[in-house]
Structure formats: C-alpha cells, structure tokens
Amino acid sequence: MTSSMKIWSRLVKFTSAIADTTNKRIVQQGAVSKDTYLVPPHIRKPDYSHKSMLLTRLSSSIELKNKEQIKQLKDACVIAKNILAKAKLMVEPGVTTEHINGVVHSEIIKCGAFPSPLSYKGFPKSCCTSVNNVVCHGIPDDRPLLNGDIINIDITVFVNACHGDTSDTFAVGKIDKRAHKLILSTQHCLKLGIQACVPGNNFSKIGCAIEKFANSRGFSVCKEFVGHGIGSYFHGPPNVLHTTNSSNLLMKPGMAFTIEPILMEGSNQIKRLSDGWTIVSKDNLRSAQAEHTVLITDTGVEILT
C-alpha cells in the first residue's frame, strides 16, 4: 500500500469513528406518557389564554416592577433555583427524563407552586428536558439517559401570581472533552451576558458579548430563541437577543428578564419536530443552554435564580 493510500485509509477510519460517535448522540425520541399530572385546587394556576410564544413578536411595553412585584418575583425564583438543584441530583445513566419530570412536578407542588410549562400552549409536561442534539423544549419521555449524554433541564414555576425561570445543562456520567467545553462555554456566555447588564446600557451589549465569546470557542449561537421579560406573565417584553445586534433599547431599574443563550457544536440551523415543540439541530450536533432570571437595579444587576 502506498503512503498516500495509507493516509487515505486512516482518514476514512477517523471520519467513520466521528460519525459513529455522533450517531450515538442523536436522540431518538421515546414514548411520551399520557399520565395526568394533577395540581391541587388550592394552588393558583396561571391564565395562558392570551400569552404568546417566544417566537412571536412581543409588545414594546416593558414593565418596571415595584417593590411588591420584585418580592413576588424573588420568591418564585428561589423556588425555581431550588427545584433545578434537586433535578440535577437525578441526572445519571439509566434515569428517564419522564422520571425527572415526575419528581420536578411533585417538588414544585410541595412548594405550593405551579409548574409553568404544564399546559402552556398544550405542552404536556412540567419541565423541559433537552438531550444532546435537542436544542430546547424537549418533552420528557421514557428514553433512559446514557453515559456521555448532556441534558438541559428548564424549570419555571408560578407562585404568588409570578413566574421564576432558570435552566442549566448537566453531564450524564462521563462526557467527552468537547461536551465539557460546550457546557462550560455556555455557562461563561451567560455570565458575560449578565455582566453587560447595567442601568443605561443597551440590550445589544448582551448578545454582542455572548456571540463574540461563543465564536472564539468554536461554537455558534442559536438565533431563534431569546431571553424574555418575566413576572406576572411567563413570556413578555423585552426580547433579549443572544447574538450580535444593534438594538438601542436601554436597561432601566425595575426591568426583569431572562438571559438564556444556547450554544451549538455545529451550525445554528434548527428544525421543529412533528410534536410541535421539540427543537433539534439540523446537523444533529449537540447544544447546551444556561439561564438565569435577572433584575436591573439602581446600581447594576441582581441574579434572582
């Protein structure tokens, strides 16, 4: 065999190995149970009849929260933060996302809160679980988590007439170096986005900081899904872009919103599956997301989750 043939043979084997690894990380959807998750009648439920999806253009009117609204928001965010911490403890090989959802639902109910995703525009579960190539809005099902997977768990709760929202991406067992880099880079992008939050700053500084760092680490940023205003409403103004933009909207004390960048291993092209909710990467490569609810104060920003 000639030298060039040997090199070609090694290249083919290397490419095949990458393909095999990638294929193992493509999530095949499991069965979604028809179980009904009950909410006790004493727990207040949100009215979603007039709420819009994240991809819908939102009103330009931004709520500046008063002291009472800020207290309600903080209370909701503390619960969301604590529930996410409990969900993280369940992440291990063999556990199904349906099981995680069931525990999340029960823990939220114990806190006297309502799981905001449940029945929102028909969403059937109490949290979103997005594994590997699932970009966001994954529906919990009976697929067991595998060693080497990564999973984003998105928690939102509604209590005292207010929503609190947070998420993060976790390793399942032992993950590869690229997945580890993806998760850490996403978390750092969130940190940079929050650091850009100062009264009087343009919202554009958030997206510019996030995309610049993501690209420097070799990742792309999902453009279609954005951070959002939050409070008595699940999703409201302002839209918080995670990519470079020229928005001249200024941050003001009393504004509360989420920052939730999604970093992607390959291109940032996505597609929606037939269930109407699950968003996956077109190239089947992995993504990671991290999210906090933040409040603009007189002097800076406060992380509420």
**Is 30:99 a contact under the CB 8 Å cutoff?**
no
Binding-site sequence positions for a divalent metal cation: 154, 165, 228, 260, 291
Q: What is the DSSP letter of 133?
A: T
Do 165 and 78 contact (CB within 8 A), yes or no? no
Amino acid letter, residue 238: P
Euclidean distance between the first and the last CA atom of the chain, given in angstroms as a whole number = 61
Between strands 134-136 and 279-281, the pairing is: antiparallel
| DSSP bridge pairs for 295 | 256, 302
220 φ, ψ (degrees, to nearest 5): -105, 165
Annotated binding site for substrate: 137, 235
Binding residues: 137, 154, 165, 228, 235, 260, 291
Radius of gyration of the chain (CA): 20
Q: What angle do the packed helices 97-110 and 67-89 form, to 10 degrees?
A: 140
